[in-house]
Amino acid sequence: MTLQRVEVGLVSADAALVEFFAAVFELERLPAVRSGSGVVHRLEAPGTRIKVMVPSRRPASAEPAEPFFHLTGVRYLTMYVDDLDGIIERGVARGGRVRHGPMDVGPGVRVAVLQDPDGNAIEVVDGAP
């Protein structure tokens, strides 16, 4: 067996998170998949697929950890980009918050941690080989 793909799934109360990821990271929207449980919105770019599940019944909101690494489990996504400043600008304009950075972490490599409108932590890395 060989792993063929990994997809990341987020759960949100509505499609606003879909709009955030599509606009901030310039992801292509794929057709949504509807089921009795709700709607799965799919977004992709080369090497990346993010799914946002919007259940039929509104889910309870989780309290984000502060800082995000104070709880175990899946706590953040890492997105490799070539325009960190543009990502930050678009993210903040669409309800996100800069939690850390941007900061230089090596020659030509910059990192920031954004929090999306639902409270998810997104590590954004620019300039990594």
| Strand ranges inside the chain, DSSP E | 8-11, 28-35, 38-45, 48-55, 76-81, 97-106, 109-115, 121-126
pLDDT tens by residue, the chain, 129 residues: 898 888 999 999 999 999 999 999 999 999 999 999 999 999 999 989 999 999 999 998 888 778 888 888 888 999 999 999 999 999 999 999 999 999 999 999 999 999 999 999 999 999 987
pTM above 0.85, yes or no: yes
Q: Which domains does the chain have, with CATH numbers?
A: 8-57+70-126 (3.10.180.10)
